[in-house]
Structure 1
Amino acid sequence: MGLINFERPSARTQDFQFRLQRMRDLLRRLDLGDLLHQKSAPKPAPIPTIHIAGTKGKGSVAMMIAAGLSAAGVRTGLYTSPHLHHLEERFRIDGKPCRPDQLDDLIEQSIPICRQMADQEVGQPTFFELTTALALLHFRQRGCQAQVIEVGLGGRLDSTNVIQSSLSVITSIGLDHQNVLGHTKAAIAAEKAGIIKPGVPVISGVRCRTVDPSRTGTACGQTTPPKNNVACDIQADDDPEPVIRRIAGEVGTRLLTLGEDFDFRCRPTRAWGSDVELFDLPAPTRNDDACPPPSPHMPPPAKLQFHLGVEGMHQAGNAALAAKSLQILADAQLLPDDEPAGFQLPSLDIQRCVRAWHSINLPGRIERFCLPDGPMLIIDTAHNEDSITALATTLGNRFGPSAAGRRRMVIVFGTSRDKDAGSMLRVLSRLTDRLVLTRFQDNPRYLPLDRLAEAVPPRSFSDVQSSESSQDAVAMACRATGPDGVVVVCGSFFLADEIRRGIQIETLI
């Protein structure tokens, strides 16, 4: 598109502040000014708008919410990033990507505006700013009744944060993009909680470290919140949950937190996926003023049961956040008394929503394929220690030495140069001692093989091979594991894209 690509993060806050001003200007020029958040006089969003941030899980939660809404008959736009294969994937309506001719038309509409801005002090929009604006324009022109918007990076200063939301979701807090967001979980939590807006309910998957364990549920057979839950990896001296709670209180909005206001149980099934139960918890007694008290109209504790066709306890946690979000959208009684009218979708059928997740496919999220005359291939976009840990836990439970479905496993790994490859490989070494290192070809951010080999922790893998070609790396892994084994590709969105495009995949399981 001939635009600056600011999906590569800048560390200068003033740059982000300037970009937010430019983003507001861009939306106004596209006649989308009614979508903007007005700090002085907030108004309800023109259509229900769900805004989602988090270190990991935000893409999965966004896709689950959008699929649920669409299944219930609500025409829903979904904006996510990055894309796996084609730019059109970022702009989906009822699960279908924008057509190439539609994207061409959107770009044609934006070109004169971008040229005008380039000649003015505000400057030309960045690539991410424009794709965000095009998504909102696409959803408007195609008559969407709701929209689900995933944050690109952080939250407070992200280009998506200029819009008025109806519901905010924070999925998790972990250490990633520290050069921009901060070097502690508390600092990163403050950035991601920047999407919280006055009067807009917040769903948080960041568990409170001090919650009484007797109030929480049983997640996948465990009696305490599991270490690798979507929202449980919290260091004792760096707790992000109080930060989110404090900001919600300062802004003046209702916060519902996983493990404190609601929780879930999940049981893996013999087939792929889990049976999940979502339930409310009794209102906690708290002696601080960090959050407004629960609405007096809150209904008694209720349960919602559903099957999730995606593997992993972390995905069950994501589904719990998505299900609670849908409940908030459906039931006006769950909202604060002063919530602006027109926010909720009172006719939303929650059972229809969650039934959509029985067969949901989340591209690049523990995605299974059958290779011709070969082993099972699993592709996952996990690219930081938290998401790799969730992946390793899931695969260990399903295919590990103590699992009923034990299989020989080989890891194919490649990542970007700004990632902590050593930490990710240390986690993966708990799964298997067989590793094939590779790199992706179509993006210059790849970590070269010599540096990747140096990142392999000592005494972690006994069999380490490498290939400059990702396709050859998968072929090597297939030979090593045999037809009954499992080949796992992970470490990068770019690697997942390349493998999905370059390998002859016979069947999506």
Structure 2
Amino acid sequence: MFQTQQDVIQWVQSFQRFGIKPGLSRVEWMLEQLGNPEKSLQIIHVAGTNGKGSTCKFLACALRANGYKVGLFTSPYLDAFNNRIAINNQDINDAMLCEVAEQVKTAITTLPVDALGEVTEFEIITVLAFLYYAIEKVDYVVLEVGLGGRFDATNVIIPLISVITNIGFDHINILGSSLGEIATEKAGIIKREVPVVSGVQQLEAQHVIFDISNEKKSKIYELGKDFYNKIVKIDLKELEISFTMDGREFLGLHAWKTKLVGAYQANNLSLALATLQILYESHGVRLSPEKTAKGILEATWPGRFEVIQTNPIVVIDGAHNPEGFQALAQSLQQQFGNRKYIWCIGILADKEVDAMIGTIIPLAKEIIVTEPDNDRAAKVEWLEGKLKEHGDIKTISQPNIMQAIQLTLSRAQENDIICIAGSLYMVSEARQWWTKKV
């Protein structure tokens, strides 16, 4: 019997990260043993390279503000394992985590491993979430894809709507090395005659998403074609956008405000609003203008252009691939204009490191290099060497993240701005420097 959260975490992490045999058969088998809890759920399924978590949070907060009981499944977590599985902004508690984990553990004892292969860590977590949400009888689940889409453990459901935020170069060793290949994997979540909301911008990827939607007879709504947004106002406290879909304002509101102040959140918010409009018009979801706007404004998502300190200004962002760094650079430009920053970065070695570095070098006054606590982390010596290949930039190495942050803060002079980025693991650890002081 599981007694504590740590017992569950140790059990979950005893499984492999990736399966030897790709596919959905293991998850389907486990869910069948548990009575197919996922079939009782109304789900919004969200895939994409970046922006999934923010889009999911906007959706969950808007639905909750309108009186619905909403499950939110996201990954990875920033502060605690339980963050991944939440209902109405409350993480699953340790007692319920132990209870559902015990049921899943019992269910998999007879798994035909020879035929299906060993289960993975993420498959277990996904099944835990489905079971929990079914037990709690939530009204809706906002479900974030873990990796890719086609073979992701979440892709065993028929959702109300499929959302694809964007396409970029990440996990190319698994998803493919071209935008078309990656888009095909992400589009694997598209189900027959289920509407699709897409924020994909690159033509190659757009064509793939569009063609697969048509093939599945799924009506597609595309950012920049069927719905639009424009930044009305942006500062370090709020982002305000206008939004229209099919030429109309949603719920009669001209402007929508959020406390997520990265400029890239304009697209994420518009994806959420487009999804809500479809739910409102096609699925009978009750939404009031005031409650929906309040829910959007109350949405928080740590580690995404998060201003965690103001003197000096410190921005923490989970950018961890080329497109994420480009979006971060554009957000910095929108907020602060043309200037250089003190960077503290820690990157995983299996990412597109050169492309990420190429984005921040022109924006760097100096760069402090550190290492996330992860076996895939790039060593500081290697990363510093990569930086020097890109030009004559002042770098300092400090493998320990806490010491690296202290060093970075000590380097800041009056009016300097610090940016901490590189991976969600990096951001998770870095945030502790501030949260554990409070």
CA distance in 1, matches of 2:318, 2:229: 25
Distance 1:4 1:275, change over 3 A: closer
- How much has 1:99 moved relative to structure 2? 1.2
Equivalent in the alignment of 1:171: 165
State the distance in 2 between where 1:160 and 1:251 align: 19
Q: Which amino acid letter does the alignment assign opposite residue 433 of structure 1?
A: K
Amino acid at match of 1:184: S
Task: Report matched runs for 1:319-330 at 5 Å.
Answer: 319-330=269-280
Go from structure 1 to structure 2 and tell me whether the alpha carbon gap of 1:479 and 1:102 turns closer, same or farther (over 3 Å shift). same
Aligned to 1:370: 309
1:490 Cα offset (Å) = 0.6
For 1:321-361, what per-residue CA distance to the aligned partner results, in whole angstroms no more than 9, with x for missing partners? 001101111112xxxxxxxxxxx243222441232222421
* Distance 1:476-1:81 versus aligned 2 partners, 3 A rule: same
Within 1, Cα distance between the matches of 2:333 and 2:430? 22
User: Contact 1:129–1:159 at 8 Å: present in 2 too?
Assistant: yes
In structure 2, the partner of 1:382 is: 319
The amino acid that maps onto 1:23 is: V
Partner of 1:429: 361
Change (3 A) 1:281 1:348: closer
Q: 380, 386, 392: which is aligned to 1:449?
A: 380
**Shift in Å, 1:484:** 4.4
* 2:28 alignment counterpart: 24
Matches within 5 A, 1:406-425: 409-425=341-357
Aligned AA (1:387):
G
Q: 1:84 to 1:118 in 2, by over 3 A?
A: farther
Q: How does 1:462-473 map to 2 (within 5 A)?
A: 462-473=393-404
Q: CA deviation at 1:504?
A: 5.5
Equivalences, count? 429
1:389-413: CA deviation from partner (whole Å, max 9, x where unpaired): 11111112222436xxxxx731100
Q: 1:346 to 1:400 in 2, by over 3 A?
A: closer
Q: Deviations over 1:458-507 (max 9, x none)?
A: 46463211101111111111111136432211101111111122445667
State how far apart, in whole Å, the 1-side matches of 2:348 and 2:390 are. 23
1:279 aligns with 2:273: no
* Structure 1, unaligned runs of 5 or more: 36-45, 207-231, 283-297, 333-343, 403-407
The residue identity in structure 1 corresponding to 2:265 is: Q
Q: 1:8, CA displacement in angstroms?
A: 4.5
Partner Cα distance (1:481, 1:108) in 2: 50
Q: Distance in 1 between matches of 2:16 and 2:219?
A: 32
Of residues 303, 318, 331, the one that matches 2:281 is 331
Q: Is the 8 A contact 2:42 2:159 kept in 1?
A: yes
In the alignment, does 2:104 pair up with 1:110?
yes
Structure 2 residue aligned with 1:308: 258
User: 1:53-111: per-residue Cα shift (whole Å, max 9, x none)?
Assistant: 00111111111101111111110000011111211000010111111222111112222
Q: Which amino acid aligns with 2:281?
A: D
Letter in 2 for 1:126: T
SS where residue 367 of structure 2 aligns? strand
Q: Provide the C-alpha distance between the structure 2 equivalents of 1:447 and 1:430, rounded to a whole number of angstroms.
A: 21
Mapping for residues 353-368 of structure 1, pairs under 5 Å: 353-368=292-307
TM normalised by structure 1 equals: 0.79
Contact 1:49 1:146 in 2 (8 A): yes
Which residue identity is paired with 1:309?
Answer: K
SS across alignment from 1:161: coil
SS at match of 1:50: strand
1:375–1:83 CA distance, 2 compared to 1 (3 A): same
The DSSP-based 3-state class of the residue aligned with 2:264 is: helix
Conserved 8 A contact 1:274-1:311:
yes
Q: Distance in 2 between matches of 1:80 and 1:7?
A: 19
Structure 2: gaps of 5 or more residues: 1-9
Counterpart contact for 1:434–1:464, Cα < 8 Å: yes
Q: TM-score, with normalisation over the residues of structure 2?
A: 0.91
- Bigger share in helix: 2
Shift of 1:179: 1.2
In structure 1, distance between residues paired with 2:15 and 2:169: 20
- Identical counterparts, % of pairs: 30
Instruction: Please tell me whether the aligned partners of residues 15 and 121 of structure 2 are also in contact (alpha carbons under 8 angstroms).
Output: yes
The change in CA–CA distance for 1:4 and 1:370 in structure 2 (over 3 A counts) is closer
> CA distance change for structure 1 residues 143 and 193 in 2, over 3 Å: closer, same or farther?
same
